Structure 1
Amino acid sequence: MHFGDQLAHAIAKTGPLCVGLDPHSGRIPALFGEGLPGVEAFFMAVLDRLAGKASIIKPQIAFFERHGPDGLALMARLCAHAKTRKLLVLMDAKRGDIGSTASAYAAAYLGPNAWVWCDAITVNPYMGMDTLEPFLSVADDNDKGVIVLVRTSNPGAADFEDLMIEKNTLYQHIAQTLAPFARERKGPQSGWSSLMVVVGATAPHEAQRLRHILPHSPFLVPGYGAQGGSAKDAVIAARDGQGVVVNSSRGVLYPQNADQATTLKDWETLFDAALARTHKDIMRALEG
């Protein structure tokens, strides 16, 4: 199935919440064990709790990569398990390089022989369209998605992304360049494109401008919760309950007192409550 249609189906099923897999040191409850085995046990439990309650996850590769080959192998096992739980996997890797290197990255993550399962990958556009086209081509051939950084959620985003070039900002120029590529990749069922863009919840006014430029692109929205973006800000570019994927990592993974849980049942209760609270907050904003 076309990636845009898969994403629309997932949002219709359980809402736009995306749970980020960010294994922060010192935040995983001791009951799961220590080191990488503890990280794996924790996130396997997380994936099992998400099934039927959320449909999208976003592993942040840096948190696994810092543990070397063992960390990357762990992430691959988590992604494979997510697939069995029917979760869409958005790989947060922010790749971007010249054409031949981009082709290698695209094959590594989106190709039929990819080393890790994912449904889409984040990419950096700042070296030009020739660095994005290999990702788009491989994604097209394999019903995958490409997620392009446009207006990010970090405070320093304004340093470059808000720079004026002629009468528009840099992020607007990027969006305008992407628009025809997104339009060409609309899903036959939903009309949503397989070309997503990253637009932070900390930039709601920019999100509204970008929705006019990119009417067919789903927005991956970081910055909700811990970074200061509200649920209302996060879904401001939604259309009829669709078109946004709102990421929450710490707010779901590490609720208050969860690291003190001594039994699996206690942890499940705290985790489920945090998941339900986050889901309700986003859905209330989406419906309001």
Structure 2
Amino acid sequence: MTFPYAQQPAGESFGARLARVFADRGRLCVGIDPHAHLLETWGLPASADGLRSFGLTVVEAVAGRAGIVKPQVAFFERFGAAGYAALEEVLAAARAAGLLVIADAKRGDIGTSVTAYAEAWLTPGSPLEADAMTAAAYQGVGSLTEAMTLAEQSGKGVFVLAATSNPEAAAVQQAIVQTGPRTGRSVARAIIEDVHAFNQEQRSGAPFGSVGLVLGATVDLADYGIDVATAGDRTPALPVLAPGFGHQGARVEDAARLFGTLVGGVIVSESRGLLSAGPHGLADAVARRSDELRAAHV
């Protein structure tokens, strides 16, 4: 029996649902990024109502043509309570449409604070419920343990930033760890190894772990101390949220070269390249990109 991705059978892990999405709808993830200039070109007001219309239009265009959406929370936050109300509607509509929803919230903290973030985005029935969230591990991957554990228990996912495409990140993410069990490794590589270790401890039997990585498709991962020939050689496989395709320059046909042994878990994330098609052209743009991914065997 096939279940909508947002309504998983009791006990099913995020990794199992992600595998179903890949098999049924492919790897394309469409960003819901209501930039001010996009709102203007779409003929929408720069307001919470404009965000709501934008987000619901994206959901309608993606449903049945791809399997994953990624709302960028920051664009909704700038309108305060009204923006969050709009985001709640978009999240609920996306999950009701059977889409897998990754809240691009980039939260990170320790103790009860990170637990509260995770409860907001990953608790079934929460007003902001998503299927996964992005998280930052500046305080160490261990600081996210409670969030990752809640995700595992709730059938949800977490994507931890590891090697991102913004140039300002390189100095930190390429830095070499000086103490502890990851001494001598880059920060990015240490994050990968810590995430691998968490997933292996869960032993859910799913093809993918519940915790994955954010790895930019426009960076040379070797510069971050990541050997793509071996980085994915563990079970369960690592889900990889890979922004940078399309407008930012990464090409789908290069995915295997860019990600090596990690390519099996890659989610091809694209935002502006698709959203620039406008409200009337978006559905066709999503369908074409999904077809291109299938043709490229990605």
The normalised TM-score by structure 2 is 0.84
% identical equivalent positions: 35
**Counterpart of 2:271?**
249
Cα offset, 1:77, TM superposition: 0.5
1:44 correspondence with 2:56: yes
Matches within 5 A, 1:147-166: 147-165=159-177
> Partners in 2 of 1:213 and 1:158 — Cα distance?
26
**Counterpart of 1:74?**
86
> Partners in 2 of 1:117 and 1:239 — Cα distance?
31
Preserved CA contact (<8 Å) 2:141 2:191:
no
Cα offset, 1:111, TM superposition: 2.0
**Counterpart of 2:208?**
192
**Counterpart of 2:5?**
none
> Partners in 2 of 1:210 and 1:242 — Cα distance?
12
Change (3 A) 1:30 1:215: closer
* Mean CA deviation greater in 39-48 or 62-71: 39-48
> Partners in 2 of 1:215 and 1:4 — Cα distance?
9
Cα offset, 1:105, TM superposition: 1.2
* Mean CA deviation greater in 75-84 or 173-182: 173-182
**Counterpart of 1:264?**
none
Change (3 A) 1:46 1:31: same
Could you tell me which runs of 5 or more consecutive residues in structure 2 were left unpaired when the two chains were aligned. Answer: 1-11, 178-182
Residue deviations 1:13-62 (CA, integer Å, cap 9, x gap): 11100001100113234555663323322321221121111110111110
Matches within 5 A, 1:1-288: 1-28=12-39, 29-31=41-43, 35-165=47-177, 167-185=184-202, 187-188=204-205, 190-206=206-222, 208=228, 210-212=231-233, 216-235=237-256, 236-237=258-259, 242-255=264-277, 258=278, 267-268=279-280, 270-286=281-297
Cα offset, 1:184, TM superposition: 2.7
Preserved CA contact (<8 Å) 2:55 2:90:
yes
The normalised TM-score by structure 1 is 0.86
Could you tell me which runs of 5 or more consecutive residues in structure 1 were left unpaired when the two chains were aligned. Answer: 259-266
> Partners in 2 of 1:10 and 1:74 — Cα distance?
26
Residue deviations 1:109-167 (CA, integer Å, cap 9, x gap): 11245231200111111202442111012112211111111111222231111123454
Alignment RMSD: 2.4
Preserved CA contact (<8 Å) 1:238 1:244:
no
> Partners in 1 of 2:67 and 2:42 — Cα distance?
27
> Partners in 2 of 1:286 and 1:238 — Cα distance?
14
Describe the SS at the equivalent of 1:226: helix
Cα offset, 1:281, TM superposition: 3.4
> Partners in 2 of 1:66 and 1:34 — Cα distance?
10
Describe the SS at the equivalent of 1:71: helix
**Counterpart of 1:263?**
none
> Partners in 1 of 2:246 and 2:203 — Cα distance?
30
> Partners in 1 of 2:94 and 2:291 — Cα distance?
23
Residue deviations 1:237-270 (CA, integer Å, cap 9, x gap): 3769841111111111112xx3xxxxxxxx43x2
How many residues get paired?
275
